[in-house]
Amino acid sequence: MRHRLATLLFALSTSLVAVPAVAQDDPAAEARQQYTQGKEAFAAKRFVEAALHFEAAAAQRPHAVTLFTAGLAWDQGGRPERAADAFSRSLDVPGLDAKQTQTAKERVAQLEKTMGTLVITGFEGTRVQLDQLTEVSTPARLHASPGVHVLSVRLVGKGIERRDVTLELGQTQKIALENETPKETPKETPKETPKETPKETPQAPRVEVKHSMSIMKAAGFALAGVGVAGLGAGTILGIQALGGRDAYNAAPTREGYDHARALATWSTLSFIVGGVFVAGGVVLVVLPEKDEAKPEKGDPAGGDRRDARLFLAPSGTGAVLGGAF
């Protein structure tokens, strides 16, 4: 009796172990089993459990309706970020009818206004996971509350890489992943440039420097300067003449008289000459110049240019300043 009971228990345990093994070997059977368990949990209002069963079924056999149902379960279970992920994935797989497609799109649009969205593209076979949510293949549209999150990236033939991402409320951030780090392009050895025969150094163009002051005005200032010097000399000689006169009045002599008279004469002559030169210089300075750019009659280059001529002639009483312009 005991032997028969032990044999029966062994056979029962073997059958219980064999059923999951058969289901695991058949993805379609496993997907049906997970989906059935999900419907039972959904009916019992165990929404989070139901959503996990639906996602497990979709992992074995991707189907739009299974993912859509997972989105409904996550939404009822108070997990809006996972509901947005599931609804987004259901739209990427063919199989929803028009009403289900519209419901999924509207719900995704509503949920994305309350959280941050991460759109990831990458090499075929790359899988990504945001925090501890479901790992999915790229391209993927993931959702989470605003703030800093950890993105796990599983590249083909490589381990898992983790990076921090910051999501903002109602904003979509895009990340493009690459399976391999691009290799640096080897630098080419610069080729020697053939030496060229040195060319003649170009000469700098000659620049004609125009004087800001005309010759006539410069001569005017020069004459005025000489005139001012003459007036200064006349002043000094006048002072000396007064001193000679005082000396003559104190001790009258012929030599004292001649000396005082000579100083007075030179002082007067200096004043006259200085005044003449100052007047002539002022005339040259203030006299308007003719525009050389406008050609006038009589000029070989098209203009009638007349040089200013100034002369000083002696007269019976001193000197006379004259000129022609």
Give 165-221 as a DSSP string: EEE-TT-EEEEE--SSPPPPPPPPPPPPPPPPPPPPPPPPPP-PPPPSS-HHHHHHH
Cβ–Cβ < 8 Å for 85, 142: yes
pLDDT band at 308 (very low <50, low <70, confident <90, very high): very low
Per residue in 24-61, pLDDT (tens digit) is 568 899 999 999 999 999 999 999 999 999 999 999 98
- Residue 4's CB: how many other CB atoms inside 10 A? 8
CA–CA separation, 253 and 271 (whole Å): 27
- Those residues whose C-beta lies under 8 Å from the C-beta of residue 267, and which sit 6 or more positions away, are 234, 235, 237, 238, 240, 241
Give the pLDDT confidence score for residue 193 in this predicted structure: 56
**Separation between Cα atoms, residue 111 and residue 105, nearest integer Å:** 10
Residues 98 and 104: their CA atoms lie apart, in Å, by 10
Tell me the three state secondary structure of residue 136: strand
The pTM score is 0.49
Whether the CB-CB separation of 147 and 175 falls below 8 Å is answered with no
Q: CA angle at residue 143 from 142 to 149, to 5 degrees?
A: 95
Q: Considering only residues 217 and 19, tell me which one the structure prediction assigns the higher pLDDT.
A: 217
The pLDDT value given to residue 71: 95
Distance (Å, whole) CA 167 – CA 145: 7
The answer to whether residues 83 and 67 touch, using CB atoms and an 8 Å cutoff, is: no
Task: Residue 303: count other Cβ atoms within 10 Å of its Cβ.
Answer: 16
Mean pLDDT highest for which of 3-12, 127-136, 208-217, 225-234? Answer: 127-136
Mean pLDDT score, 229-251? 77
Asked whether 114 and 81 are in contact (CB, 8 A), the reply is no
Residue type present at position 124:
E
Our CA angle for 144, 109, 154, nearest 5°, is 40
Based on its alpha-carbon atoms, the radius of gyration of the chain, rounded to whole angstroms, reads: 57
The pLDDT, as a whole number, for residue 274 is: 72
Q: Beta-carbon neighbour count of residue 34 at 10 Å? A: 22
More confident residue, 180 or 145: 145
Q: Which two three-digit tokens encode residue 24?
A: 């695991």
Query: Does 139 sit behind a cis peptide bond, omega within 30 degrees of 0 on the bond before it?
Result: yes
Chain-centre distance of CA 258, in angstroms? 90
The chain-wide mean pLDDT, for the chain, equals: 75
At residue 214 the predicted structure's pLDDT band, cuts being 50, 70 and 90, is low
Q: What is the pLDDT of residue 200?
A: 55
